[in-house]
Structures are given as C-alpha cells and as structure tokens.
Amino acid sequence: MPDTLQGLINSPRLSPQHRAIAAKVLQNERVTFEEGVFLYEHGELPYLGILANYIREKRHGDHTFFNRNFHIEPTNLCVYDCKFCSYSRLLKQRSEGWEYTMDDMFNIVKKYDGQPVTEVHIVGGVLPQYDVPFYQELFSRIRNHRPDLHIKALTPVEYHYIFKKAKISYAEGMRLMQEAGLQSVPGGGAEIFHPEVRELIAKDKCTADQWLAIHEEWHKLGSRSNATMLYGHIEKFWHRVDHMERLRTLQDKTGGFQTFIPLKFRNQDNQMSHVPESTVIEDLRNYAIARIYLDNFDHIKAYWAMISRNTAQLSLNFGVDDIDGTLDDTTKIYSMAGAEEQHPGMTTKELVELIKQVGRVPIERDTLYNVVTNYQDFEFQDEVKPQFYKLPVLN
Ligand code: SF4
C-alpha cells in the first residue's frame, strides 16, 4: 500500500473507486453517501488512515487539543430506558442511584475554586425535579460564582423533556437557558438517528428530528455545540452514514457544530450485553471515515477515558485531533459501561506526555478552541528531572 495520498491515487493495485475517493480528498471535494458506505464496506485501515490523516494535518497540522474540565452528573436515575445504557438506574432501582441537589452541584463547582479548569460539563439522567427553573438557577449560580468557567450542559434529551413539561418551544427554551448562563451544548443523546435503530435502542426519548431541531435553535442564538454517534452495536454501516449525513446537512445550514465525537458502544451491565463490542481496528476505521465524511466539521474527538489511552494515541493518526479533557475522575458514564479507565483522570502533564509520545503537539484549548497554552516547548515546574538510579552494591 502506498503511504501518500498521491501514491493511492496512482496505485494500480487499488480499485477505481478507491482511487477516485482519494482524488476527491486531495481536491477537497465532498464524499457522497454511497462513497461513505463504500468506505465502510471496502476501506482498509491503512488506506483510510492516509486519507483521514491528510485531512487532519491539512486542518490542524500536528496540533492535538485537550481541555481542563470536570463533570457534574446530577443523577444516574432516569425516566428513560435506553437499552445500551449502563449508567442509568430506573426509578424502581432508586437505591442504587444518586440525585444531587442544587447545593450538592454547586459545592462540586466550588471545589474547583482557584484551580485552572476552564469548563464544567453537566450531563446525566432525566428526572422530573430537574426542570427549567432548576437549571436556570443552577446555571446562573455557577455563572455568578465563577464567570470564567464555561458552562457546557445537557443534551436535547433533557431539553426536549424539560421544555415539553414547561410547555415552551425549543426556541424559547434555549433562549432562557442562554440567558441563565448556558454557553455550549454537548453532543450526547444522538445515538443513531435512523428510526430503524433508534426505535430499538432508545425508543422513548427525543427523535432524530427533535435532537437536530434543538441544536438548530441553539445555533440560531449564535452559540456552538457538539455531536456524537453511538456506534458498534446493532446498526449497519449505512445507518452510520445516514447519521453523519443528517449532521452534515444541518452543519451546512448553521455552521454551529464544533466537534464530532464517535462513541464506542460498551456492553457491560446493560440490556445489550449480548452484543459484541467493536474491535480497535473498527474504532480507528470509524474515526477515519468520520474525518473524511464530515468535511464541514472542524474537529473529530476521541474520549480517551472511553477507548483507553493507547487507542487514543493511535487515533491521532486516523483523523482525531482532540482527546478531551483531564476529567479528574468526575464522570461515571464510561467506567460503568466497562471502559478500561475505571477512575478516569489525568494530570495536565500526563495528557501532554501522552500526546507528545506520538509526535504530536499538545494544545490546551478552552471550550471554543481558543488556545490556552501551547505545550510544544513547555517545561513543567514540578517536573522531576531524570535521575541516575543507585545500583545496589554487592560485597
Ligand atoms: S442514555 Fe441517557 S436518556 Fe437513556 S437511559 Fe441512559 S441516562 Fe437515560
């Protein structure tokens, strides 16, 4: 296999379709739906890696982004019953759950006073007591307490539920959230958009159209959001392409998405435990195809806490340019689903080293991808210089 894009285009060993798609990538042309399916069905990892890495390096060079954040998960109880969810405990299992009060959540924020975190990420289960007035008060308390902390909170799953309960439109609801202090919307709750799959794995929560409509209203307010896709379970390849196609279409209209985050299905302790998980090869292929297909998304992110540190390093050669944040062991979403990281947290220094080990340049960003620190030549103050080990002396 040639190791450059031009080499792929000229290679007689590749099919005309493979060569045509490589030529499109070189010419910055959009890949069609059918070509997206072709890539999933016939794209081998080395081929996809060359295409995706070409796009990644053209956009970002070696820069690899991360942020310093912490999560608040208000509850793991949920009125919904998504089959893939290892995290939520239904209301009848209330004894296994937690339900934070407003003060509990505010105290978590205060724990970070004086620390250089730039983002609080708030997302969890859906319960009736967490309604529009509750979140208005929570956001404004955080905003007033710490105006420099970017509030990224709740997905359309929660918004659809609380706006319906409050009998207000999505447009009105998102306006109220923004006024209260919400600054970004994370990408969760998207799962797989196509009803053929969505009905089977997440049937009662917001539909694809509702998910997209809430993001559209948010973008109309001039704010940014992310998008995810839960892959590697019962969906077919074309469902993944359909999912990305819907995102690409909305992005053409609004330009409000920043980052696409493929989420690997994990099968521990949920109602789909019989479904095998995708391989690392498939995970990397999926990142690469996302980078190729979503030509109007700036960033592709891999959650290191979900796919392991080593796979996150590998993914940087397959289209990924962002590996999320330091986390500080504040999320249970990945560990409860069986992710390798049971207590996810890395110091900034560890994250920086992880990125440097594979020859990329670590860039700490804020939520909106403004550069906070370029760590290329950064010396950590507390760095322990290499020492010579004392050898035992044998008499
Ligand atoms: S995925 Fe979200 S909405 Fe679905 S059951 Fe789990 S917490 Fe609830």
Render pLDDT for 263-274 as a digit per residue (tens, 0 to 9). Answer: 999 998 899 999
| Ligand 1 center–CA 180 separation, angstroms | 25
CA–centroid distance, 54 to ligand 1, in Å, is: 36
Ligand 1 atom nearest to 81, measured from its CA: 5
pLDDT at 339: 60
What average pLDDT does this structure show over 131-144? 98
DSSP structural state of residue 366: -
pTM: 0.92
Q: What is the mean pLDDT of the chain?
A: 92
CA of 139 to the centre of ligand 1 (A): 22
Look at residue 394 and tell me whether its pLDDT is greater than 70: no
Tens of pLDDT, residue by residue over 9-35, are 999 999 999 999 999 999 999 999 999
pLDDT at 347: 83
Residue 390 has pLDDT above 60, yes or no: no
Output the residue whose Cα is nearest ligand 1's atom 3. 80
- Number of Cβ within 10 Å of residue 359's Cβ equals 11
- Is the pLDDT confidence value at 199 over 70? yes
- In the chain, % of residues over pLDDT 90: 80
Please report the pLDDT score of residue 381 as a whole number: 77
Compare 340 and 138 and report the one with higher pLDDT. Answer: 138
- Ligand 1 center to residue 276 CA distance, Å? 20
Whether the predicted pLDDT of 192 surpasses 90: yes
Hey, what are 327's tokens?
Answer: 């986390």
> How many whole angstroms from 266 Cα to the centroid of ligand 1?
14
The DSSP H or E segment spanning 227 is strand 224-231
Identify the residue whose C-alpha is closest to ligand 1 atom 7.
125
Is the CB of residue 123 less than 8 Å from the CB of residue 186? Answer: yes
Residue 121 backbone dihedrals phi, psi, to 5 degrees:
-110, 115
Instruction: Name which residue leads in pLDDT, 118 or 333.
Output: 118
Among 98, 126, 159, 334, the mutation site with the greatest number of ligand 1 atoms within 8 A of its Cβ is: 126
Please report the pLDDT score of residue 93 as a whole number.
72
Q: Dihedral of the CA atoms 342, 347, 351, 354 (nearest 10)?
A: -80
Using CA positions, which residue lies closest to atom 4 of ligand 1?
A: 82
In whole angstroms, give the CA distance from residue 245 to residue 252: 11
Written as one letter, the residue type at 257 is F
Is residue 386 over pLDDT 50? no
Q: Is the pLDDT of residue 221 over 70?
A: yes
Q: Specify the ligand 1 atom closest to the Cα of 202.
A: 4
- Say if residue 343's pLDDT is above 80: no
CA of 85 to the centre of ligand 1 (A): 6
CA of 122 to the centre of ligand 1 (A): 14
Q: What is the pLDDT of residues 52-105, one digit of tens each?
A: 999 999 999 999 999 998 999 999 999 999 999 987 766 667 777 899 999 999
Q: Assess contact for 320 and 360: CB atoms under 8 A.
A: no
Which ligand 1 atom lies nearest to the CA of residue 191? 1
Q: Measured in angstroms, how far is the CA atom of residue 28 from the centroid of ligand 1?
A: 38
> How many other CB atoms are found less than 10 A from the CB of residue 362?
23
Q: Report the pLDDT value the prediction gives residue 145, as an integer from 0 to 100.
A: 97
pLDDT of residue 384: 46
Closest atom, ligand 1, to C-alpha of 87: 6
pLDDT at residue 304 in the model:
87
The mean pLDDT value for 213-239 works out to 98
> To which residue do tokens 């942020």 refer?
67
* pLDDT attached to residue 128: 95
Lowest-confidence range among 185-189, 335-339, 385-389? 385-389
Q: Which of 177-181, 227-231, 296-300, 374-378 has the lowest mean pLDDT?
A: 374-378
Give me the amino acid identity at 251.
Q
Q: Calculate how far, in angstroms, residue 124's C-alpha sits from the geometric centre of ligand 1.
A: 8
- The per-residue pLDDT for 12 is 94
CA 80 to ligand 1 center in whole angstroms: 6
> Could you tell me which of 48, 32, 49, 51 has the C-alpha nearest to residue 40?
48
Secondary structure (3-state) at 298: coil
- pLDDT greater than 90 at residue 338: no
Choice from 76, 77, 86, 88 to test ligand 1 binding pocket (greatest atom count within 8 A of CB)? 88
**Residue 85 CA: which ligand 1 atom is closest?**
6
Ligand 1 mutation target, pool 77, 79, 80, 229, most atoms within 8 A of CB? 80
Q: Residue 289 in contact with residue 359, Cβ under 8 Å?
A: no
Question: How confident is the model over 269-288, as pLDDT tens digits?
Answer: 899 999 999 999 999 999 99
> What is the chain's length?
395
- CA 151 to chain centroid, in Å, comes to 16
What pLDDT is stored for residue 325 in this prediction?
80
Residues with CB under 6 A from ligand 1: 78, 80-82, 85, 87-88, 125-126, 157, 202, 205
pLDDT of residue 378: 87
Is the pLDDT at 337 greater than 60? The verdict is no
Contact 353, 394 (CB under 8 A): no
